[in-house]
Structure 1
């Protein structure tokens, strides 16, 4: 008999009903969460947990890189920044340097904040169009 977990059901439903833009925002937030987990693990001397969290953050960055629309001119610049953030995570993981994690988090936070603004602007336009009907 399976145990019903309402939080897991909510998370699953949230992912299944989100727009592509909202899913991208979730990826940015997840990446930042894992970087913070890695920093806490490093502070606590838990190297294995730090490594696992950084690998999860790197997997998210890799997914963001794979899904870039390279036909859009800005994608090349985004790719460079993703690659740099990823390299900061790798270097920070090897050297146990939280400052490098902070550099990567700063880049991802900028992307996240910009993406959040884009979603809000699109929603405002969408609701403005609905009001005109």
Structure 2
């Protein structure tokens, strides 16, 4: 079994073993990894690798979209859905144009949301732990 296949299996296991509040930050983390990898691949002229990284990034954005709960999330879920649609279009356009400045801007948009989701997951975990200890 190759290193890449082992890594892929590990990643799938880590996602499958994640709680709901851990899943979204994990998806954001993988989205950032793929966007940054695509940037490096564009710089290196690795167009095949770039295509795979952007394909992975698009799939992750679709997973984020599928995870939205419009009944409980209301307006926030609708706004996130619009944002994810924008990201999907940006990924497609950047993949075609190889515009590194635009890709850097997309990464800068994703990064603070990733950090917010990490903090929200941490807070939810602490609340759950405090509730179980009470």
For the criterion TM > 0.5, the same-fold answer is: yes
> Smaller-chain TM-score range?
0.7 to 0.9
SS state at 1:73 partner:
helix
Aligned to 1:121: 123
Residue 8 of structure 1 deviates from its aligned partner by 6.4
Unaligned runs of 5+ residues in structure 1 are none
Question: C-alpha separation between the residues in 2 aligned to 1:74 and 1:62?
Answer: 17
Distance 1:44 1:66, change over 3 A: same
With normalisation by structure 1, the TM-score equals 0.83
The number of residues matched between the two structures is 130
Give the deviation of 1:104 after TM superposition.
2.1
SS at match of 1:57: helix
Mapping of 1:48-127 within 5 angstroms? 48-71=48-71, 72-127=74-129
* Larger RCO (CA within 8 A; separation ≥ 6): 2
Q: Given the two structures, how large is their TM-score scaled by the length of structure 2?
A: 0.83
Check whether the contact 1:89–1:100 (CA below 8 A) recurs between aligned residues. Answer: no
Bigger mean CA deviation after superposition, 64-73 or 35-44: 64-73
Q: Matches of 1:27 and 1:52 in 2, distance apart?
A: 16
Partner of 1:23: 23
Larger proportion of helix: 2
| TM-superposed deviation, 1:87 | 1.6
RMSD: 2.3
Cα deviation code 1:16-47 (max 9, x no counterpart) = 33201212221111111111111011000111
Tell me, which stretches of 5 or more residues in structure 2 are unaligned?
none
Q: Distance in 1 between matches of 2:38 and 2:7?
A: 23
